[in-house]
Chain A
Amino acid sequence: MAAPGLAIRVNYPTLQYLTAQKFNYGGRKLFFVKASAGSTEAEEANIIVRKEKYGWQPDFSGGMRPTPILDTINYPVHMKNLSVKELEKLAAELRAEIVHTVSKTGGHLSSSLGVVELTVALHQVFSAPEDKIIWDVGHQAYGHKILTGRRSKMHTIRKTSGLAGFPKREESVYDAFGAGHSSTSISAGLGMAVARDLLGKDNSVVSVIGDGAMTAGQAYEALNNAGFLDTNLIVVLNDNRQVSLPTATLDGPATPVGALSRALSKLQASPKFRQLREAAKGITKQIGPQAHEVAAKFDEYARGMISSSGSTFFEELGLYYIGPVDGHNIDDLVTIFQKVKTMPAPGPVLIHIITEKGKGYPPAEAAADRMHGVVKFDPKTGKQMKAKTPTLMYTQYFAESLIKEAEADNRIVAIHAAMGGGTGLNYFQKRFPERCFDVGIAEQHAVTFAAGLATEGLKPFCAIYSSFLQRGYDQVVHDVDLQKLPVRFAMDRAGLVGADGPTHCGAFDVAYMACLPNMIVMAPSDEAELMHMVATAAAIDDRPSCFRFPRGNGVGAVLPPDYKGTPLEIGKGRILREGNRVAILGFGSVVQQCLGAAEMLKSHNILPTIADARFCKPLDADLIRRLAKEHEILITVEEGSIGGFGSHISHFLTLHGILDGPLKLRSMVLPDRYIDQGAPQDQIEEAGLSSRHICATVLSLLGTPKEVVNFV
């Protein structure tokens, strides 16, 4: 897992001349250059950074080159004495470090590149961890992690037992708030600011939020409250005009969604503002010094009248708007942060910075999706090394079958919340551009919007990740289920999701969907079943329905002809393997683990019956009764939390008196703790739901504990 050639780093500040010899990737002899204040232009030719027109640009054409300034920074406090020029060089080195790290591990690339200057400026001016810096979503915090003592562990990011891909409070005291879902930073920052005031402290609180996250309602709820409370808080609005993810459709960059983005872009071009302010200043000078209240009022009025409409919006909410600011100019950023930090009573301030996603790395700047999320790639060219897989991702099968359904029925529409690529609806959009709706990061609105569409007879498919749908849960209950509107929920990324970790893990959707009275809950065990369930959902027109499928590739099932599924009979599961004594009833893709367990048990002369429940609601009563009657042991397996499929089965069995009898029932669910990020197989093992765990459960129930040892 460690990157080859990565030398052991010493974690105390070293003398500068000691560090240059360490990083000789590829064995190239590079001239050592001291990045001290006295370096001349001639020396500059050899170092990794070149002073270009717009600042220091790192050079990616060779291997990783020495990073003299970055090597001296282990914690932000080491940055305090750097000059602006040195900060710019540090930014270039940090860029190179991010690119080379992510090229080996995969992860989120361009978001971090766009905020390198912001990260450097924030840590230079503010004193983390006393000053709180909160990163919204957090996938842009790689630079922050490097500067706050985790540089040596960056090669483990997003891996099992490694660094998390998002800020995590347990990982470091510099991560002020855990993130993963968007638009929470201002709320959290406001909480920290109010707590600071109540405790009588005087640290600064900075929340960094992007323009994409600003499309979510929670950001405005927080701004509204911040304006009302009038406490000292700095909100940095990082505007790179990339509102949806990944930041491209199939044909190229996605245009920003919604009226807010238009308003934000208007903010950037308003030359009249300055002229009128100058005029206003002249007038107030004439009125005289004693009339400063009049002047202040006039100024406020003038600002509102002449500043572009977007900034008035923030001002009306009660935040003082500063901007737009060039987000790649460290000098400007440091000046502004310094001034705002030292003001006695600024109140809530919003600093609007303009950045470019992927800045400083030409392949990212040129790519349509800006290389937002990448696998391993070659730093020189930016070419990703995507492994060829025999099957496609579940997401793609979903998109294909939805397109097929929509071709047959023109009332089918699709809705997603700024995740066109992640949900596969970019394909749908390409095929049916006027039937695909991207509402921005607004799951609550997406659900009620779908409900509104359903009242008029359309067939909306809401494709929202399982963990993101949590945000719209009240709308699911109140607007969809209570009124029995036929909205279909396609919950991608259900179950454990691998490198993204617990923030993106879809552990709870079976529990929170199956407890709703009118909801039909399905889960496919393979990609062919997924296609049939899409067709089934399209056919269910009198009540809401949902189906959950995991991240990952298909298993190679035989697909229906032309990708068109056939509707399943509702509330009917199927038996995959006939056996005796032991029945294993799986729900969802974990059925594949059950089949694996059956193979393992063969060698012990045990033939379990493997059944695929398909439906959690309504349960297949006949199947369950049959399994309970014909077997001694019934094991239910699901990749979800307690309160889901297993609970429904046990409730059913108790209600029908079956548990009064000799049946032994066990429910295998995700453990009662959050599973950290890692490789999918590692996570399943950690959760105790792999084939061998199922095997061990069977054997322990059959009374052969000694053999269990082989499997555990």
Chain B
Amino acid sequence: MCCNSAVIIPRPDPCFSFLPTRPDIIPFPASVSFRIRTVFHHGPSKSIPNDTVQFSGSDPATLYDLLGIPKTGTLLEIKQAYKQLARKYHPDVSPLDRVEEYTKMFIRVQEAYETLSDPRRRALYDRDMAKGIHLAFSARRFFEFDEQMEDKSEWKSRWQSQLSHLKKRSMYKDSGDNMSWGAKMRRQRNESS
């Protein structure tokens, strides 16, 4: 699961939901901004949260529709649907004149699979769907917000352990064999005081 390494945009502005999931898709920053710009050139106004890139045929309303499975689909069904669609839309096997479309579709299918195959994320998505928020392809948006809350409690325990480690370390830091400039000055000061 590569969610932890996503480029996190803190603002809950829907029009920035369409960003590539994984940083390693992006070769270097210049092309990141290029991708964002193309979305805006083609897409309609900012109020529409969903992915606005047009594909032939209608936009699927939910991730389940995209994969073609019922809402109660099991993990196995999700996997099968994903494999099937991935094989169909992979850029290497797509027909030459529709490579762009198919690649975009492939990315969406992949995002859908990632969201639905992770039980926690699927639960969050189902909950949002029930609330009527159809954020089909802005998985990162709600995921990231929730993760922030969880992370903060983890952050606290993490820095507490960091602090205790630093304290321990600072006890023996200025022992005789530490030859750094700062250690020498500290020893000098301690001796003179």
Contacts and interface: CB of A to CB of B under 8 A. Distances in A.
Nearest to A200: B189
Interface of A: 194, 197-198, 200, 202, 228-232, 240-241, 249, 251-253, 255-259, 262, 265-266, 268-271, 273-274, 277, 292, 296, 299, 303, 320-326, 332, 336, 339-340, 343-349, 356, 365, 368, 429-430, 433-434, 437-438
A230 B178 CA distance: 10
A197 B185 contact: yes
A228 B173 CA distance: 14
Given A197-B185, A340-B166, A434-B34, A268 B29 contact: no
B35 to A, nearest CB: 9
A339 B165 CA distance: 12
A167 B136 CA distance: 47
B98 interface: no
Contacts, number: 150
Contacts of B9: 241, 253, 255
Interface string B147-178: 10001101111110111011111111110001
A346 B33 contact: no
Pairs of residues from A and B, 9 with the lowest C-beta to C-beta distance, nearest first? A230-B180, A230-B182, A231-B182, A197-B185, A433-B37, A269-B4, A345-B173, A345-B170, A343-B170
Given A365-B11, A434-B34, 10 more contacts: A194-B181, A231-B182, A252-B13, A255-B16, A255-B32, A269-B5, A269-B147, A324-B158, A339-B167, A343-B166
30 contacts: A194-B181, A197-B182, A232-B186, A251-B36, A251-B37, A253-B9, A253-B16, A255-B16, A255-B29, A257-B29, A258-B29, A268-B151, A268-B155, A269-B151, A271-B151, A274-B157, A296-B169, A320-B162, A320-B166, A322-B166, A326-B152, A326-B156, A336-B163, A343-B170, A344-B170, A344-B171, A344-B174, A345-B183, A429-B33, A433-B33
Contacts of A257: 29
Contacts of B7: 255-256, 262, 265
Contacts of B76: none
Interface residues of B, number: 54
B192 A340 contact: no
A241 B8 contact: yes
A256 B11 CA distance: 13
Contacts of A430: 37
B161 to A, nearest CB: 6
A366 to B, nearest CB: 8
A255 B19 CA distance: 10
Which secondary structure dominates where chain B touches chain A?
helix
Which secondary structure dominates where chain A touches chain B?
mixed
A232 B170 CA distance: 11
A220 B129 CA distance: 46
B179 to A, nearest CB: 9
Contacts of A230: 178, 180-183
B189 A346 contact: no
Contacts of A339: 163, 167
A241 B9 CA distance: 8
A413 to B, nearest CB: 11
A343 B182 CA distance: 14
A437 B31 CA distance: 10
B151 A347 contact: no
B163 to A, nearest CB: 5
B25 interface: no
Contacts of B13: 252-253, 368
A287 to B, nearest CB: 15
B166 to A, nearest CB: 6
A348 B180 CA distance: 12
Interface string B18-38: 010001000001111110111
B152 A322 contact: no
B143 to A, nearest CB: 11
B155 to A, nearest CB: 5
Interface in B64-92: none
Nearest to B163: A339
Contacts of A258: 29
Contact of A259 (B29, B155, B167, B169): B29
B10 interface: yes
Nearest to A357: B10
A326 B155 contact: yes
Contacts of A269: 4-5, 8, 147, 151
A182 to B, nearest CB: 19
B124 to A, nearest CB: 16
A322 B34 contact: no
Interface in B17-64: 19, 23, 29-34, 36-38, 40, 46
B135 interface: no
B15 interface: yes
A434 B182 contact: no
Contacts of B168: 296
A179 B173 CA distance: 33
A475 B166 CA distance: 41
Contact of B185 (A198, A271, A348): A198
A408 B186 CA distance: 64
Contacts of A232: 182, 186
Contacts of B178: 230
B110 to A, nearest CB: 20
A229 B33 contact: no
A320 B171 CA distance: 14
A347 to B, nearest CB: 6
A229 B162 contact: no
Contacts of A240: 10
A31 to B, nearest CB: 35
Contacts of A368: 13
Contacts of B40: 251
B150 to A, nearest CB: 8
Contact of B4 (A231, A241, A270, A323): A270
A358 to B, nearest CB: 10
A425 to B, nearest CB: 12
Contacts of A321: 162
B152 A271 contact: no
B186 A345 contact: yes
A655 B46 CA distance: 64
Nearest to A272: B4
Contacts of B182: 197, 229-232, 347-348
A255 B36 contact: yes
Nearest to B33: A433
Nearest to B23: A262
B158 A274 contact: yes
Nearest to A311: B162
B192 to A, nearest CB: 7
A227 to B, nearest CB: 9
A433 B38 CA distance: 9
A200 B186 CA distance: 9
Contact of B154 (A231, A256, A274): A274
A271 B23 CA distance: 19
Contact of A325 (B11, B33, B159, B167): B159
Given A202-B189, A231-B181, A258-B29, A347 B37 contact: no
B170 A347 contact: yes
Nearest to A435: B30
Contacts of A268: 8, 151, 155
A356 B10 contact: yes
A369 B125 CA distance: 30
Contacts of B186: 197, 232, 344-345
B183 to A, nearest CB: 6
Contact of B15 (A249, A252, A346, A429): A252
Given A259-B29, A268-B8, A434-B30, A349 B151 contact: no
B188 to A, nearest CB: 8
Given A197-B189, A296-B169, A349-B166, A273 B158 contact: yes
